[in-house]
Structure 1
Amino acid sequence: VVNTDDGPRALTLEDYLNGNFQYKTFFPYWVSDNEYLHQSAEDDIILYNVEINYATTIMTNSTMKQVNASNYVMSSDQYFIALESNYSKLWRYSYTASYHIYDLINGGFVTENQLPHKIQYISWSPVGHKLVYVYQNNIYLKQSPREPPIKITSDGKQNEIFNGIPDWVYEEEMLATKYALWWSPSGRYLAYVQFNDSDIPVIEYSYFGEDQYPRKITIPYPKAGAKNPTVKVFVVDTIYSEAFGPKEVPVPAIIASSDHYFTWLTWVTDTRICVQWLKRIQNFSVLAICDFKEHSNTWDCPQNQQHIEESQTGWAGGFFVSAPYFTSDSSSYYKIFSDKNGYKHIHYINGSVENAIQVTSGEWEAIYIFRVTNDAIFYSSNEFEGYPGRRNIYKISIGSKPMRKQCITCNLRKERCQYYTARFSERSKYYALICYGPGIPISTLFENRGDRELRVLEDNWELQSALQQISLPKEEINKLEVDGITLWYKMLLPPQFDRSKKYPLLIQVYGGPCSQNVKETFSISWITYLASKEGIIVALVDGRGTAYRGDKILHAVYRRLGVYEVEDQISAVKKFIEMGFIDEKRIAIWGWSYGGYVTSLALGSGSGVFKCGMAVAPVSSWEYYASIYTERFMGLPIKSDNLEHYK
C-alpha cells in the first residue's frame, strides 16, 4: 500500500491476512516456585530464576533442530526434557506428535527404549521423572525414560475404546482438553477415564488432501437424543501397576441409575480423589469425594461426601460445571456456582453444600479461581465498574476476619488493561499477569508478597510503534435498554467518524449460550479492517443467553434456542438506527457456527432491518448436532421432553 502523505494510513485487508499487527503474550512455564522456562528469540530454552534474577541456557536451538522440535516439556526434577516434533492436528485440542527425550544431566538423547511416533498425549509425573503416554488409545507407563514401557491398558481401539484421552464429543463439548488422565500429587497413582464409543453411530466425510484419492474420515458422533459414550474412571498404582491393575472409582448411585457424563477429576491427596458427574439432563451434578481403602484395595465414595449442584432455571454450571479448589485440610474446598440471586459466586464448602458459606456476592460474577493458598484466594471477576466484559484479578485474604478483598489489577494500568489472566508459580510465591486489553497487551511478573511488580515480560513495544502509522477505528463499549433487558455492545467507528453522516453497519454475531463477544480485549481483525479502510461501522451485541450477567439472562434461552438471541440482535439494530448515523439501506449481519445460525434466523425473521447476511457453517437443525452441547440447552428431542422446540 503506497502511503502518499506522511499521516497514518488505513489498515488494509493484506495487513490483516498477513498478520502484520499481531501482539505477543508471555506465559511463564513455571517449573518450581521461583523458576520458569521460556524460549529466547533465538529459540534456545532458558531457565530463569526469579529469586536471583539469573538466566541459564539449558538447551540451545541446535539441539532442538536435531529433531526438528517445535515444543518441549521438562520432567519435574529437571533431569530430562521431552522434545516434541511431527505435530499433526486432529480436533480442536488433540494432536499426535513424536517425542525425543534429552538427558539434561549427562547430555545427549536417550536412545534406549525410544518412544513410538504418533503419540496422542504425554505427561511427566509431578515428582521425579516417571512418564506416561497414550499411544493408539492405550496408556503406557515408564518408570524412567530409559526403561521399557509398562502397558497399563490393552483394550484401546480406534474410534471405539479411548483410554486416557477423550473421544471427539468429550473433547469438544465437555473437557476442552486433549487428555483424560491425571497424576496424584506424589506421582504414585494415575487416574484415567475410559470412553466407550463402540455403540455410537458414526458420521463419515471425504478428506481431499495431498493424495490422488480422498481419504474417508469416520467419527463416532452422538447426536441429540442418540446413544452416548459410556465412561469409567480408573486409578492405577504406578509402583505396583502389574500386580494390582487399575481399580474403578464407583459412580454415585443417584448418577449411575440413568445416562450420565463424567465432567472432571481433581486429586486431593494421594489417597483422596474428587470426581464430578452430571446427569444426561444437565441440570443435576454430583461432586463425589472418594477415598482409597487399603485393606480392600478399593475406592469408596460415601454418600455423605457426595455434593449435589442443581439448577432450577437451566443447566448446571456455566459452559462447564466448575472445578473445586481444595484447602490444605484436604476436605473443605472453594467452588464457583450460582447463588440464590442467580449470580455465579465463590462458595466455601466444608461438609455440606447446604451449609456453604458465600465468599463473594453482588450483581456481577466470579469467573475463575486461579489459586487457593493457606491465606488467600486469587480469582477473576467482572465486578469492576460494572462492565461484564472485563476480567480483573482479585485477592481475598482468608486468614483475616472479616475477609479482606483487594483488586490487584483494577487500577494497575487502568486505561490500557481491564482484561487479565494469571499464571502462578508452584507454591504461589510469584505470578505473571497477562493483560489482553483494551489497549495493547502487556505481560508482567509479580511477587505475591505485597503484590509488587518485578518486571515487564512483554510490552509489545514494536507493535505499539508500528500502529502509530495506522489509523485504527475507535472502539466504544456501552449498553442499551430494551424492554427491561440490558444489551451490551461494542461498536467500531471509522477513524474520521462524523455523527452527522450516515454509515453502513455490519453486525458480527455469535450469540451462543454462555458466550461473550463484548469484551475489553485488543485485536486487529477483519472487522478492524472493515472499519478502518472501508468506513463501515461494525457492532457486536451480547443479548439474552450470553454469559457472566447472571442466570436470568443466561437461562433465558433454555429449551428455546434461536428465539431471544435473534430478537435481541434485531432490537439492538433498531436502537443503533435511532442514534442517527446508520444508513438503513446498508445494514448486514454475519456470523460463524452459532453466529451463522443466528444470522440465518435473523435474515428469515421478516424484520426487514438486514439487507444481506453471511452465515458460515450454521447449525441447520439441532437434531443433527452433538448430544452434549445440544441437550445442555435444549433437553431431549422426544415428545415427552422438548421435541416441539427442536422443530
Structure 2
Amino acid sequence: MLLPNATATPGYLPLSESNEEQHPFPPRQSRPERGERQRRAARFPETRPPLWIPDPFDSAAIARQDELDDDSGEDTAYESEEDGLGEGEKGQLRSETSESKEATDSSDQDDGWEFSLAALQKDRIKRRRRLLVLFPAFLVLTLFFILALVNLFGPSSGHHRFYGAAATKKRMTLDEVLNGTFAVQTKRVEWVALAAEQGGEVQDGLYTERRFDGSILLHDPFHNSSRVLLAADDIRGTDGARLLWYRHKFSADGMYALVDSHWTKVWRHSTLANFYLHRLPSDSNAKPASSPTRPIRTPHSPPGTSFAHFSPTSHHLAYVHANDLYVLPAETIDADPEGKGWEGDAIRVTSDGTTTRMSGRPSWVYEEEVFSSDSTLWWSPTSAHVAFITFDESDVPLYKYPIYNASPASPAGEVQYEGWEYPKEVGLRYPKPGYSNPLITVRVFSLSHYRSLSSDSSLSSADRLSRSLLTLRLARPFNPDDQGEVVTEVAWIGPDEVLVRMTDRSARVERVGRFDLSAVDWERMSGSEDEVGNVLEGEVVRETDWWQKDGGWAEAAQTIVSLSSASAANGDSYAPGYLDLVPDAEGFVHVAYYSPDTTSDAVFLTSGEWEVDAIDRVDLARGLIYFTAARPSIARHVYFIPLPRNVGELAALRTGKSKRAEPTLLPGQGSSDSTKEVGTYSVTFSALAGSYWLSYRGPGIPWQKLYKIDDPDTPQQLTGNRHLAETDAAYLHPTISYSTERLEDGGTGSGEVEVNVMELRPPLMDESGRTKYPVLFQIYGGPNSQMVSTQFQRDFQHYLATSLDYVVVRVDARGTGFQGRKFRSTVRGRLGEVERRDVIEVARRWAEKAYVDEKRVGVWGWSYGGFLTSKIIEANSTVFSLGMAVAPVTDWRLYDTLYTERYMGLPDANPGGYRNSSIHEMDGFRHADFALAHGSGDDNVHFQNTALLLDRFTMAGVRNFRFRMFTDSDHSIMTRSAYGELLRWLEGFLLERFGHGGRTKGRWKMRKDPSGNRAPFGPGEHDFGEKS
C-alpha cells in the first residue's frame, strides 16, 4: 500500500515494507537547500523512493524519465547561478560564498556523501537507459543463437524447405492420391474383324470404342475413318426405354452385339446381369430394325445370368443361368422375327443346377485360386463343341459371416429395409485345409452332333442331348485316397482335340491328358451320359512329379496355346502340336513346342536366366510367336521369335543342328538392354495379327499407341495422358532406385540368392547422415507374386515418401515370381519362414545406412503381406519397431484348400509346418507397435483370422497394439469409403509412433542435380542400381 502523504507516481513501483531498505537511493531531482533536506529527513526519516524499474512496454513512463534526465540537474544549477549577473553582483556573490564557506564546511562534510551519491546515481541511470536499448536486441540474438544450435546439433522434425526449381512444386496430398488426381487414362477397345462393305474380304486392324453417350464407334485407323456402329438410342429394353448397359461384345461374323444391364457383383471375378442381343445393320447406311434389341432371357431384378460367350465362328451363344448351361445356336437366334427373345428356345445342356452344383461357372475356390474368371466353358476352334466343368460342392463345409448394414447407401441410424435390426448372413462353400474339395467333372457338349440329330424324328430333345454329352476322364486317374484331383486347365488344341491339365490335391504331381473327339463313335452313344458309352478316356501325354524334381509345386496356370486356332492358316505344313510355358532344365519358364501333341518331349524355343510371362499371339501367316518376358525380372517387354514352319526345322532345333533364334524386341519399346529404358509394356493384337496396340505402363507417364506390323515407323497415338503429365510435373516425387541384395540361403540349401529391392526416397533427401529418416517396408511376398516393378504408380507409398519424408522400401523375397523355380520352391511347406528371414536381413542392412533412423524402421502389408508382416514382428528381430497388418492370414488352417495345400501340403502330412507358419509367438508383439485392420465381410481371408490373433493377444497380455474393423468390407476394404479411411488411419498411426520424416543433426543441404540446378528428380527419372 502507499505510505501516508505519499502518492503513486506513474512508472514507479510503490514502496512497501518489504522493499524499502532495498532501494536507498531516490530518483535524480534538483538538490534542495540544506535546511530543507534536514527538515525532510526529520519528517520522513525512512521514505526514500525505491530504485525506478521501468516497464519496458510503458512508453509514457520512459518519456517522463527522459524529460527528468534531460533537465539541467543540481550541478548545472549551482554552476550557473552567476549567469545573468553583472561583475559587481558576481563579486558580491563570490564574497558571500567565501564568507559562508568556512561556516558550512563542517555541515558539508556531513552531507558530502549526497553529492557523490548523486553523481553515481546519474551514471547508473545512464547505464540503465543503455541496457533498456540493448536488452531487446540481446533477446533476439540469443533466440537466434539457440535456434541455430538446435538446427546444427539437436534433433528436429518436419518437412524440408526447398529452394530454386523445387520451391515451385507441390507435395501430393492423400486426398489427391485417392480422388484420381494421378489416375491413368486408358482406352478400352475391342478388336473386331468385319467383312468389308465391298468385296466381302475380312478387314484387319478395326477396333471399337465406346463413347461417353453410350454409342459404339468403329475405327479404321489406317484409313482415318470412323463411323457409329451402334448408336446408344438404338439399344432399348423390352419396355421400349433406352437401355443402360455396361459391357459389350461382338460376334465373330459381325452380325450381333451382346450387351448386359443390371450388372451385379458376386465375388472377385463373378457377376450377374441381364443380357441382350442387338442385331447390327447389314451396312452402314441401313436403318436399324424396329426392335433390334432382344433379351436372351426375361430380365429379372436381381438378375440371374452369370455370363454369355459368343462362339469363335458364326454367332452361336453359350451362357450360364441359375448354375445351368444353355446354348443358343445361330439358326435359333436368327429365327426370332417377333423379337420376343429365346428363353424357351435355347438348348438346356444341364438341368441339375443348384446352389451347390454348377456347370460352366466355377465354384468360389476355383474362381479365386485357379481360373481367376467367372467362366469355365471353352468353345472349340470351329464352334462345333463346348467343353465345360461341373462342380459339386455338396460336401464342402458352409462358411457364414454377418452383414451388419445390408443397405450400403443408407447413413448410420436410418432404417432403409425391413428387419435391419438383425444382421443378415452370407454363406459360401469354402473348403479349408483337410476338408472336402468340390468334386469336378470335365464334360463336352457337341453342338454339331446335336444339330445332326435334328432330322431323326424318333428322338426327343432329351435323347438328342444325352447322345451329345461326353464325360472326360484320365486313363490313369489320381489315387482317390489323395482326396481328389484338381483341374487347372482345359484347352482346345485342334477342332476335335482337347487337353486337360490336372494335379493331385497337394499339387505335387501334374498330368496332362489328351482327348480326341474324332475317335468317338457318336452312333453308339447311349441315352444316358452316366453309362460307359458316354465316357471318353484320355491318354496321359505328360506327367511331372515336381516334388521329386525340385521340391516345389505344380502351378495353377492356363498357358497352353493352340496352333490350329492361331490368327491365320498358312500354306506351310508347320509341325502339328501346341505351345506351352514350361520350366527348362535350369528352372526358368520358357516357350516350349510340343510336336506331335502326344509327345512329352518339348523343344524349347527360348532359353536363359529370365522367364516368359505370357504368349501373346501366334501369327501363322508370318510365322511369328509374340510373347511378354520379364527380362530383367522387374520389367516387361514384348518380343517375337520365328515359329518353326515344318517338321524339319523343329527336328533341327531338337537335335541341336540349328540354334535358337534370339528374341527380337517388338518395335515401339525402349531397349531392354539399356537400364535407362527398362520399363513395363503390354500388347494386344488385331484379329489377324496385322496390327497391335502397345501400352507403355511405366515407370514414366503411360501411353498407348497403335502400330501396323508392316509399317511400325508410323504409329498412331491413342492416349498420351498429357493432362496427367502436366499435373504430375507440378508435384514433387520420390527418387526411385532399383537394386539387388545378395543374401545367404539361411540353411535352405538354395545357395546364395539375389532379391530385388525398390527404394523410394524423399525428394532431395539429405544422404550425408546428418538427417535421419524413418523407413517403412512395404511387402507382399506370396508365392509367384511380384511387388518390385517398373510400373507407373502414385499411391500411398509415394505419398509417404513425398509428403511425410519417409523412405519406403519394397522387397521381393524368395518365393516370389520371375526368378526361376529354385528361387520359388524353397518356401514349400514353410510359408513365412524363408520370406521373413530375407526381409529382416534386407532391413538390417538398410538400418545401417547413414541416412536411416535405425529406431524408426517399420513394415506393413495387406493379405499375404499382412501375414508376412505379422511373422516379421513375431520374430522379435529388434530391427523392426513397428508393423501394420491389413486382412492377414494368421493360421493357414483357416485359409482355402487350393492355395494353402499347393504350398503347404495337407495338414496331416505337415503338422509342424502349419504350426510354424501360424502367428503363435507373442513376445515380439510386446516389443513393437502394431496396427491390425480387417473387414468384417471378407469372403477371402475371413475375419476369423484376425479374431484368432486378437484372442492370442488377450491370452498373452499383449496390449501395445491398435485394432480397426471395417464394417461389412470385403478383402479390398472398399465398403462405404472404407479404403480412404483405412489409409488415413494407417497414416495417423505412423505419425503417432514415428512422427514426420527427417530428423536433422546438421543443416539440411539441398542436393544438386548433375547440371548444378537445385531441383528434384523429374517424375520419370529412376535409378537402376547395380548389384550389391
Shorter-chain TM-score range: over 0.9
Q: Which residue is equivalent to 1:325?
A: 561
Q: Does 1:217 align with 2:378?
A: no
Q: Which residue is equivalent to 1:204?
A: 400
Q: 1:631 Cα shift?
A: 0.5
Q: Which residue is equivalent to 1:390?
A: 635
2:438 to 217, 225, 229: 229
Q: 1:597 Cα shift?
A: 0.5
Q: Which residue is equivalent to 2:208?
A: 37
Higher strand share: 1
Q: Which residue is equivalent to 1:363?
A: 609
1: CA distance, partners of 2:262 / 2:634:
38
Q: 1:102 Cα shift?
A: 2.0
Q: Does 1:334 align with 2:576?
A: no
Q: 1:74 Cα shift?
A: 1.8
Maintained 8 Å contact 1:527/1:538: yes
Q: 1:452 Cα shift?
A: 4.7
Q: Does 1:428 align with 2:661?
A: no
2: CA distance, partners of 1:141 / 1:455:
40
Kindly report the root-mean-square deviation, in angstroms, between the aligned alpha carbons of the 2 structures. 2.3
Structure 1 length-normalised TM: 0.93
SS in 2 for 1:535: coil
Judged with a 3 Å threshold, the aligned counterparts in structure 2 of structure 1 residues 111 and 382 are, in CA distance, closer, same or farther, namely: closer
Q: 1:103 Cα shift?
A: 2.0
Judged with a 3 Å threshold, the aligned counterparts in structure 2 of structure 1 residues 55 and 301 are, in CA distance, closer, same or farther, namely: farther
1: CA distance, partners of 2:879 / 2:434:
36
1: CA distance, partners of 2:561 / 2:317:
26
Judged with a 3 Å threshold, the aligned counterparts in structure 2 of structure 1 residues 113 and 465 are, in CA distance, closer, same or farther, namely: closer
Q: 1:413 Cα shift?
A: 3.5
Larger radius of gyration: 2
Maintained 8 Å contact 1:419/1:435: yes
Matched letter for residue 356 of structure 1: A
Matched letter for residue 132 of structure 1: A
SS in 1 for 2:477: helix
Q: 1:64 Cα shift?
A: 5.7
Q: 1:71 Cα shift?
A: 1.7
1: CA distance, partners of 2:551 / 2:192:
41
Counterparts of 1:10-29 in structure 2, within 5 Å, are 10-29=171-190
Q: Which residue is equivalent to 1:76?
A: 252
1:413 to 670, 674, 686: 670
Q: Which residue is equivalent to 2:488?
A: 263
1: CA distance, partners of 2:758 / 2:712:
32
Maintained 8 Å contact 2:782/2:816: yes
Matched letter for residue 593 of structure 1: S
1:571 to 836, 841, 848: 841
Q: 1:300 Cα shift?
A: 4.3
Q: 1:438 Cα shift?
A: 1.2
1: CA distance, partners of 2:824 / 2:582:
13
SS in 1 for 2:701: coil
Matched letter for residue 197 of structure 1: E
Maintained 8 Å contact 1:67/1:100: no
2:266 to 70, 84, 90: 90
SS in 2 for 1:548: coil
Counterparts of 1:60-139 in structure 2, within 5 Å, are 60-63=231-234, 66-105=242-281, 106-107=288-289, 108-111=291-294, 114-117=297-300, 118=303, 119-139=305-325
Judged with a 3 Å threshold, the aligned counterparts in structure 2 of structure 1 residues 613 and 523 are, in CA distance, closer, same or farther, namely: same
Q: Which residue is equivalent to 2:410?
A: none
Q: Does 1:307 align with 2:307?
A: no
Q: 1:27 Cα shift?
A: 4.6
Q: 1:112 Cα shift?
A: 7.2
1:518 to 769, 788, 801: 788
1:417-455 deviations in whole A, cap 9, x for unaligned? 621121112221111112211111111222233655531
SS in 2 for 1:502: strand
1: CA distance, partners of 2:295 / 2:642:
50
Q: 1:617 Cα shift?
A: 0.9
Judged with a 3 Å threshold, the aligned counterparts in structure 2 of structure 1 residues 348 and 456 are, in CA distance, closer, same or farther, namely: same
SS in 2 for 1:470: coil
Q: Does 1:56 align with 2:227?
A: yes
Q: 1:140 Cα shift?
A: 1.6
Q: Does 1:477 align with 2:722?
A: no
Q: 1:578 Cα shift?
A: 2.4
Q: 1:168 Cα shift?
A: 0.3
Matched letter for residue 349 of structure 2: I
Q: Does 1:454 align with 2:715?
A: yes
2: CA distance, partners of 1:112 / 1:99:
6
Q: 1:282 Cα shift?
A: 0.4
Matched letter for residue 134 of structure 1: V
2: CA distance, partners of 1:389 / 1:113:
45
Matched letter for residue 325 of structure 1: V
Matched letter for residue 313 of structure 1: D
Q: Does 1:603 align with 2:873?
A: yes
Q: Which residue is equivalent to 2:628?
A: 380
Percent identity over the alignment? 29
Q: Which residues of structure 1 form unaligned runs of 5+?
A: none
Q: Does 1:46 align with 2:283?
A: no
Mean alpha-carbon deviation: is it higher for 504-513 or for 111-120?
A: 111-120
1: CA distance, partners of 2:295 / 2:663:
53
Maintained 8 Å contact 1:397/1:405: no
Q: Which residues of structure 2 form unaligned runs of 5+?
A: 1-161, 194-203, 237-241, 282-287, 337-341, 408-416, 452-460, 526-533, 565-573, 650-657, 745-751, 916-1028
Maintained 8 Å contact 2:217/2:228: yes
2: CA distance, partners of 1:125 / 1:22:
35
Maintained 8 Å contact 1:308/1:353: no
SS in 2 for 1:632: helix
Matched letter for residue 219 of structure 1: L
Maintained 8 Å contact 1:200/1:222: yes
Q: Which residue is equivalent to 1:254?
A: 476
Judged with a 3 Å threshold, the aligned counterparts in structure 2 of structure 1 residues 224 and 413 are, in CA distance, closer, same or farther, namely: same
Matched letter for residue 512 of structure 2: L
Matched letter for residue 641 of structure 2: I
1: CA distance, partners of 2:763 / 2:444:
59
Q: 1:482 Cα shift?
A: 2.1
2: CA distance, partners of 1:515 / 1:112:
41
2: CA distance, partners of 1:200 / 1:514:
27
SS in 1 for 2:396: coil
1:455-485 deviations in whole A, cap 9, x for unaligned? 1221111101111111111111111112222
Matched letter for residue 327 of structure 1: L
2: CA distance, partners of 1:156 / 1:116:
19
Matched letter for residue 742 of structure 2: E
Q: Does 1:620 align with 2:817?
A: no
Counterparts of 1:528-607 in structure 2, within 5 Å, are 528-607=798-877
Q: Which residue is equivalent to 1:494?
A: 762
Q: Which residue is equivalent to 1:274?
A: 499
Structure 2 length-normalised TM: 0.60
Q: Which residue is equivalent to 2:127?
A: none
Q: 1:410 Cα shift?
A: 8.3
Q: Which residue is equivalent to 2:910?
A: 642
1: CA distance, partners of 2:728 / 2:892:
43
Q: 1:234 Cα shift?
A: 1.2
1:378-403 deviations in whole A, cap 9, x for unaligned? 111122xxx31111111001248644
